[in-house]
Amino acid sequence: MVQLATAASSFFEYRHYHPRESEDPQALWGAAWRAGARAAMHDSARIAELVPLLKDLLYLLEDGRVEADGRAIDRRPAYEEDECEVSW
């Protein structure tokens, strides 16, 4: 099971492996900057994996099959067009 790291656990992990650098604020900021960059790259890679799925969904929506399937499962009685007229 993969556990998500929190900011506090990441700090203490860094402090454990880098005891001297953890006392230097510049080193801490540099490490935090690099960790943020890695997290952003990881999230970007996950978003890139969604592109083909979103493209397939777009093709289905443009094809009209999604709308046709939605209308096919709609069990409400069909309405007459005259019922929907708005009078002022």
Contact criterion met (CB below 8 Å) for 22 and 14: yes
Contact criterion met (CB below 8 Å) for 13 and 4: no
pLDDT at 2 exceeding the cut of 50: no
Residue with tokens 């005259």: 82
pTM score of the predicted model: 0.39
- Give dist(CA 75, CA 39) in Å, integer: 47
Going by pLDDT thresholds of 50, 70 and 90, the confidence category of residue 3 is very low
Instruction: Determine the pLDDT at residue 67.
Output: 80
Instruction: Determine the pLDDT at residue 33.
Output: 81
| In the chain, domain spans | 8-73
Mapping DSSP to helix (H, G, I), strand (E, B) and coil, where does residue 62 land?
helix
Query: pLDDT (tens digit, 9 = 90+) per residue, 35-85?
Result: 878 878 887 888 888 889 889 888 888 888 778 888 888 888 776 666 666
- Give dist(CA 15, CA 53) in Å, integer: 41
